[in-house]
Amino acid sequence: MKGQTRLSWTDVRDEIRTRILHRTYAPGDKLPRDEDIAAELGCARTTVHRAMQDLSQIGLVERIRKGGTHVRTDPVTRATFDIPITRREVEQRGSKYDYQLISHALEDTPLSVMARFGIQQPARVLHVKALHLADNRPYMFEDRWIHTGSTPDILDVDLNMQSANEWLVRHKPYSRVDVRFYAMNAEGESAVYLSTSPGSALLVIERTTWIGQDPITSVQAVAAPGYQLTALN
Amino acid sequence: MKGQTRLSWTDVRDEIRTRILHRTYAPGDKLPRDEDIAAELGCARTTVHRAMQDLSQIGLVERIRKGGTHVRTDPVTRATFDIPITRREVEQRGSKYDYQLISHALEDTPLSVMARFGIQQPARVLHVKALHLADNRPYMFEDRWIHTGSTPDILDVDLNMQSANEWLVRHKPYSRVDVRFYAMNAEGESAVYLSTSPGSALLVIERTTWIGQDPITSVQAVAAPGYQLTALN
DNA sequence: AAGTGGTCTAGACCACCTT
DNA sequence: AGGTGGTCTAGACCACTTG
């Protein structure tokens, strides 16, 4: 006799995915009820549910109570990115990490930053510019605004010793984050500090974080030329 | 008496997250065993497990069998992006969508595309260039290579009527995808078709897909100036 | 109103890793 | 070797949404 073992939810997931790839279940089709699939494959409904949870998160199927499970007609490509502390990112590439504080000053939020924070009135913020280096070469230029209302402690930190990036990540958990990517031409400071010519195309990672309703920080992280963001998996 | 209702896994998740935010469980700390948390909060262990599954996926905690659950010391920012069919993306912005085929030709894969596909020998591919428009203005320029070995059907498609993007998404499911973002200076064709001046910084979304081991397509989607990618949530 | 997915429970066993 | 998370089951009830 052969070693018939119990079905795991990954088995079920793979089976369903295969059927979708092979068009047994075509785009737009309604899949059988969880319970029927469970009966067919010989496992508990919970196990099918776990499999479907995965497929649903990937974006392969769409599940609606009472409506049933459908294969998505317009499958989206869903990509997930990890954005670690810059120091860690550099070290994981096997490079030597260095950091330089360029400037820091107490200022009022400009309109652009007020918009990012979603606030109506200007607020007192610490404006920090800094450069991250990998193997002594510019890696990322960061232009950051830190809300002194929500994060007064930042004023006591010696930013020559420790990047604001690192201090914040270690000391200020956030409850909400907005992340966006776009391209920018190097100009002025970004060109100088990244040692590139004005006009170079640079990738920008803009991140804004809040704790509850209160803004913490907003940063434009401008990567050196050639930088690529790669999705997990 | 008040309506004491049963704890849901989201309640548990929120409770744990709050404790992490409040440093009840500080970065690096080991959390109690699932079973103990369940006992404390008064729910089944499975419910705690479901909550932890979520926190683990977000990247807030790290779980290791026998090792227990730990608060991550270097929380990463994890961002997820949906990359829909371009037509859908345009229409969801409330704009009118148009599409122009620029050129298509059978060619051999250049080295760069062989690298993306992960193949050693050149392959016969359909090289397609096309432009997507939103409200009659250039929106995205796409430079695509389609492997005719895995996808011979593409040769029968009238690419004037239907973008390769759309046809592929509808007819060729993939099992693996590589996604990366980077910045590029407009030059030559990309500048001309996107109606911008050479040198403009443009965001590029590069996507390569496979079915099993076989490459399907690789595309450089070059967005018009000002384009932003925004994370879900 | 009814059907379908979503969740919760209690118990059992398994798999993996640290000690 | 033992402890912890991971999974499976069976059954029950809930919540949402469509017809």
- Per-residue pLDDT 10s for chain B (233 aa) are 333 467 899 999 999 999 998 889 998 999 999 999 999 999 999 999 999 999 999 889 999 999 999 999 877 888 889 888 899 899 988 999 999 999 999 999 999 999 999 999 999 999 999 999 999 999 999 999 999 999 999 999 999 999 999 899 888 888 889 999 999 999 999 999 999 999 999 999 999 999 889 999 999 999 999 999 999 87
Question: In chain A, which among 39-98 make CB contacts under 8 A with chain B?
Answer: 59, 73-85, 88
- Among B90, B78, B94, B91, which residue's Cα sits nearest to residue B221? B90
The neighbour count for residue A206, using CB atoms within 10 Å, is: 19
Amino acid (one-letter) located at A207: R
Amino acid (one-letter) located at A100: Q
Per-residue pLDDT at B232: 82
Cβ contact A46 with chain C strand, < 7 A: yes
Calculate what percentage of chain A has a pLDDT beyond 90: 79
Per-residue pLDDT at A2: 35
**Tens-digit pLDDT profile for residues B4-42:** 467 899 999 999 999 998 889 998 999 999 999 999 999
- Among B151, B211, B206, which residue's Cα sits nearest to residue B175? B211
Per-residue pLDDT at B3: 37
Residue with tokens 């008040």: B2
The neighbour count for residue B152, using CB atoms within 10 Å, is: 12
**Tens-digit pLDDT profile for residues B174-183:** 888 999 999 9
Domains and CATH numbers, chain B: 9-71 (1.10.10.10), 86-232 (3.40.1410.10)
Strand partners, B205: B181, B221
Interatomic distance A19 CA / D15 C1' (Å): 30
Instruction: Give the separation between CA A223 and CA A143, rounded to whole angstroms.
Output: 11
Per-residue pLDDT at A58: 87
Cβ A229–B180 below 8 Å, yes or no?
A: yes
For an interface test with B, which of A168, A181, A203, A219 has the most B Cβ atoms less than 10 Å from its Cβ? A181
Interatomic distance B80 CA / D17 C1' (Å): 28
Half-sphere exposure of A84 (CA within 13 A, CB side): 14
Residue B219 tokens, joined: 């595309």
* φ/ψ (deg, to 5) at B220: -105, 110
**Tens-digit pLDDT profile for residues A36-55:** 999 999 999 999 999 999 99
Per-residue pLDDT at B1: 34
Residue B50 tokens, joined: 């479901």
Q: Which nucleotide is nearest to A7 (CA to C1')?
A: D8
Per-residue pLDDT at A92: 86
Per-residue pLDDT at B196: 97
Q: Which nucleotide is nearest to B68 (CA to C1')?
A: D4
Instruction: Name the residue among B74, B83, B201 with its Cβ closest to that of A201.
Output: B201
- Among B83, B57, B72, which residue's Cα sits nearest to residue B25? B72
The A 49-108 residues near strand C by Cβ under 7 Å are 49, 52-53, 56, 63-69
Q: What is the DSSP letter of A121?
A: S
Residue B76: exposed, middle, or buried by beta-carbon count in 10 A (0-12, 13-18, 19+)? Answer: middle
**Tens-digit pLDDT profile for residues A196-205:** 999 999 999 9
Instruction: Give the separation between CA B48 and CA B55, rounded to whole angstroms.
Output: 11
Q: Which residues contact A55 (CB under 8 A, 6 or more apart)?
A: A13, A16, A17, A61
For chain A, list residues with pLDDT below 50: 1-4
Per-residue pLDDT at A5: 67
